[in-house]
Amino acid sequence: SSDGIALRFPDCVHGKYAQDKLFFKILTAPSQHKNYVVEDELIYLKSHGERVICIPDVFIGSRKLREILISHAHSILAHLGARKTSVYLRDQVWW
């Protein structure tokens, strides 16, 4: 289920960046991408003194990881709608 995957976050991201063109470039040459930091095999975007985890465009099972995260965030927020879900995710993740 998507909830099981979301609960193992960010473990489900480990090893997936190589499948995403942008994040593969960052992973292989992090010093050339000053807005990103690689730590414990995870990529983070640095923004306004904060770091948010980068989400590669990959499948987990038959669903896109980004779709799973959107669905999970929507559930966490008690189905408050697309705008509030988007704002919530923007503070937590980046893609």
Give the tens place of pLDDT for each residue, 40-95: 999 999 988 899 999 999 998 899 999 988 888 888 787 677 788 888 888 888 99
In a domain, 2, yes or no: no
In a domain, 62, yes or no: yes
Buried b (16+ CB within 10 A) or exposed e, 50-84: eebbbbbebebeeeebbebbbebbbeeeeeeeeee
Show contacts of 38-41: CB within 8 Å, 24+ apart.
Answer: 41/14, 41/15, 41/17
In a domain, 5, yes or no: no
| Domain encompassing residue 35 | 11-91
Predicted TM-score (pTM) above 0.85 = no
In a domain, 6, yes or no: no
Looking at the structure of the chain, the number of domains it has is 1
Neighbour-count burial of 89, counting CB atoms closer than 10 A to its CB (0-12 exposed, 13-18 middle, 19+ buried) = buried
Q: Measured in Å, how far apart are the chain's first and last C-alpha atoms?
A: 23
Quickly state the pLDDT bin for 3 (edges 50, 70, 90).
Answer: very low
